[in-house]
Amino acid sequence: MSEEKLYAVKDDEGEYWDFGGKANRFWSLLSVEVPVTDNKEIASTVAKATAGHVVAFVEEPKKVALNKEQAEIVDDAHGNNIPASFMASKSDDEELMMNAYVNGYTVAKEKKYLVYKELGGKQKNKLFAQAYRSSIFPGTISWILTNEVKSGSWAQFTKSEIEHYGLQDCEKEEVTGYDEQ
């Protein structure tokens, strides 16, 4: 994996060298036209000649998106003496897990869906029966008749919840732009 780096030269007062050819001195960062170079040797030469020091900028590696179970495996691997072996024993995707272990990870939000059945009616007056979590009987679902499918948090289900409640034969619409609650 090749890393592309940029180099700046900074002095003890927090000012930067201008590689764009301004007068040979350090400037505030706002005044510098070209504060970086991709040539390490040039940056090192300037730093030695001016009593400055080289600052390297490295692009941060992209974090891997994991589901909750994979994230737990990576977290547990940090406390293990042989993390690669631990992750290989817990997951089929060792490369993904190692990338997450080394570069960091984010937990991907589980997709959520609106679940409904179209009951028919005329084009303008379609009726839908929409599933939602019951506030009266927690852990159960109820159905509401409506003219349009609503996207409130009480009506959003993950795939595992759809299977749990036996809603696989219903129509599903993926919800985008929701906040996790």
| pLDDT at position 73 | 92
Cβ(26)–Cβ(13) below 8 Å: yes
Angle at alpha carbon of residue 121, lines to 118 and 127, rounded to 5°: 45
pLDDT digits (tens, 9 = 90+) for 35-93: 999 999 999 999 999 999 999 988 888 888 998 889 999 999 988 889 899 999 988 88
| pLDDT at position 178 | 55
Between CA 52 and CA 46 the distance in angstroms is 8
Q: Are strands 5-10 and 53-58 parallel, antiparallel or unpaired?
A: antiparallel
Q: Are strands 105-107 and 64-66 parallel, antiparallel or unpaired?
A: parallel
| pLDDT at position 115 | 92
